[in-house]
Amino acid sequence: MRTILITGPGGSGRTTVAAATALRAAGDGTRTLVLSADHADALGAALGVPTGPEPIRTAYGLTARRPDAAAGFRDDLTAFQSRATGVLDLLGAARLDPEEVTPLPGTEELSFLRALRDAALSDRYDLLVVDLPPTPQALALLALPEELRRYLRRLLPPERQAARALRPVLGRLAGVPMPAEWLYDTAARWDVELAAVEAVVRDPATTVRLVAEPGPAGAAAVPAAVLGLALRGLRTEAVIANRVLPETGPETWPAGLVAQQRKTLADWREAYDVHPVAHLGRDPHGTDDLAALDVPAGGTAPAPVEWTVADRIAEDGVLVWHIPLPGAIRDELDLVRRGDELVVTAGPFCRIVPLPSALRRCTVAGAALRDGELHIRFAPDPDLWPRRH
């Protein structure tokens, strides 16, 4: 299955473009699911059919769904209470009834990521179109599986699980139930679930389409979004220039605004694959309006983003890690080596990545930014690097 993630600045028409993209793909004979993270039913307003937590067929070959975070959180909490019965009884804790449970901060994101994973693993669809939140929230959402897995590895390292064999003895000595068993089991279950979501995001068939109106706000938002996505290893497949005004039209359209849009479009075309979507003069509503938007269909996924390590030991005595960061500015880049991890900061974005195994036995020898790609040089550590004979 191919996955298209759609995001962009707030108010740029992301949901409408996501609905139009899914409708176009379904019209071409592709079994398509459009998944929305919107609280309000903007997706249903665009499609002309109410959407909710249950998948609904809105057109031939097209299914729409908006996950219910509250229901997902209630189910998870109920399952947790069941697994932790012994500890809760020991503490004299009262159970929470499902009716009194409301989602906590972060639960909506986890619920949506689980729905994304389930949809991507389904064999009922060929294309998954995901209507993500505005770009800053979307980047945080897409980073969540990787960050949570990193936290779990730090708090409950797999190598320490060998102590699990001692827990029955410790339990008898202490005379109280030991919660470590269900704690490790829960952590392992969460790691598997998060890994599945992370695999969807990192899949070579997963790409991103940025939706923005051509103009000053969009001109500033698009390069920043492309950079933030690239730091996450995601390629921006296309920029959907939404609500493009025609050269001639009603007198209420200021000529300066039209000229401004044309300039932004020209700048974008020099750097991105741009697809203009005409302004209909009204908010699109229903399948006829969506079809009139003429958005690109699913197509073929472009080449995935690869962070490659080049062996330059024979020529320069170093290994070079190539990290694509289109639009990065040299003065806004920062690198920190911390053990077997590298902290990469590009403008307002930051990511902590584990070093490839070969680079863990090296020291950082320098870095340079060339043509939108960060080159980090690593010199082999003589005390750790195998000697050549």
Who wins on pLDDT, 142 or 162?
142
Pairing of strands 2-7, 206-212: parallel
**CB-neighbour burial class of residue 208 (10 A; exposed 0-12, middle 13-18, buried 19+):** buried
Half-sphere CA count of 96, side-chain side, radius 13 A: 16
Q: What is the pLDDT of residue 34?
A: 96
Half-sphere CA count of 340, side-chain side, radius 13 A: 8
* pLDDT surpassing 90 at residue 354: yes
Q: What is the pLDDT of residue 274?
A: 95
**pLDDT per position as a tens digit, 311-325:** 999 999 999 999 999
Cα 385–chain centre separation: 36
What's the CA gap between 156 and 182, in Å, rounded? Answer: 12
* pLDDT surpassing 60 at residue 172: no
**pLDDT per position as a tens digit, 40-80:** 899 999 999 999 989 999 888 899 999 886 666 566 666 66
Report the DSSP beta bridge partners of residue 333: 346
> Which residue's structure tokens are 């060998």?
162
Q: What is the pLDDT of residue 49?
A: 92
Question: Percent of the chain scored above 90 by pLDDT?
Answer: 56
Q: Read off the pLDDT of each residue in 282-298 and give the average, rounded to a whole number.
A: 88
* pLDDT surpassing 50 at residue 176: no
Question: Which pair of structure tokens corresponds to residue 119?
Answer: 């949809």
Who wins on pLDDT, 83 or 34?
34
Do 298 and 338 touch, CB atoms closer than 8 A? no
3-state secondary structure the chain: CEEEEEECCCCCCHHHHHHHHHHHHHHCCCCEEEEECCCCCHHHHHHCCCCCCCCEEEECCEEEECCCHHHHHHHHHHHHHHHCHHHHHHHCCCCCCHHHCCCCCCHHHHHHHHHHHHHHHCCCCCEEEEECCCHHHHHHHHHHHHHHHHHHHHHCCHHHHHHHHHHHHHHHHHCCCCCHHHHHHHHHHHHHHHHHHHHHHHCCCEEEEEEECCCHHHHHHHHHHHHHHHHCCCCEEEEEEEEECCCCCCCCCCHHHHHHHHHHHHHHHHHCCEEEEECCCCCCCCHHHHHHCCCCCCCCCCCCCCCEEEEEHHHHCEEEEEEECCCCCHHHEEEEEECCEEEEEECCEEEEEECCHHHHHEEEEEEEEECCEEEEEEEECCCCCCCCC
Q: Read off the pLDDT of each residue in 332-342 and give the average, rounded to a whole number.
A: 94
Q: What is the pLDDT of residue 180?
A: 55
Who wins on pLDDT, 33 or 148?
33
Q: What is the pLDDT of residue 86?
A: 62
Q: What is the pLDDT of residue 58?
A: 87
* pLDDT surpassing 80 at residue 255: no
* Cβ within 8 Å of residue 333, ≥6 positions away: 325, 344, 345, 346, 367, 369, 374
What's the CA gap between 253 and 67, in Å, rounded? Answer: 39
Per-residue pLDDT band at 170 (split at 50, 70, 90): very low
What's the CA gap between 86 and 92, in Å, rounded? Answer: 10
Question: Percent of the chain scored above 70 by pLDDT?
Answer: 80
Who wins on pLDDT, 161 or 230?
230
Rounded to the nearest integer, the mean pLDDT of the chain is 84
**pLDDT per position as a tens digit, 84-124:** 666 555 556 666 666 666 666 667 788 888 889 999 888 99
Who wins on pLDDT, 197 or 105?
197
What's the CA gap between 190 and 196, in Å, rounded? Answer: 10
Q: What is the pLDDT of residue 239?
A: 96
What's the CA gap between 319 and 359, in Å, rounded? Answer: 8
Q: Read off the pLDDT of each residue in 174-187 and give the average, rounded to a whole number.
A: 59
What domains can you pick out in the chain, each with its CATH number?
1-305 (3.40.50.300), 308-380 (2.60.40.790)
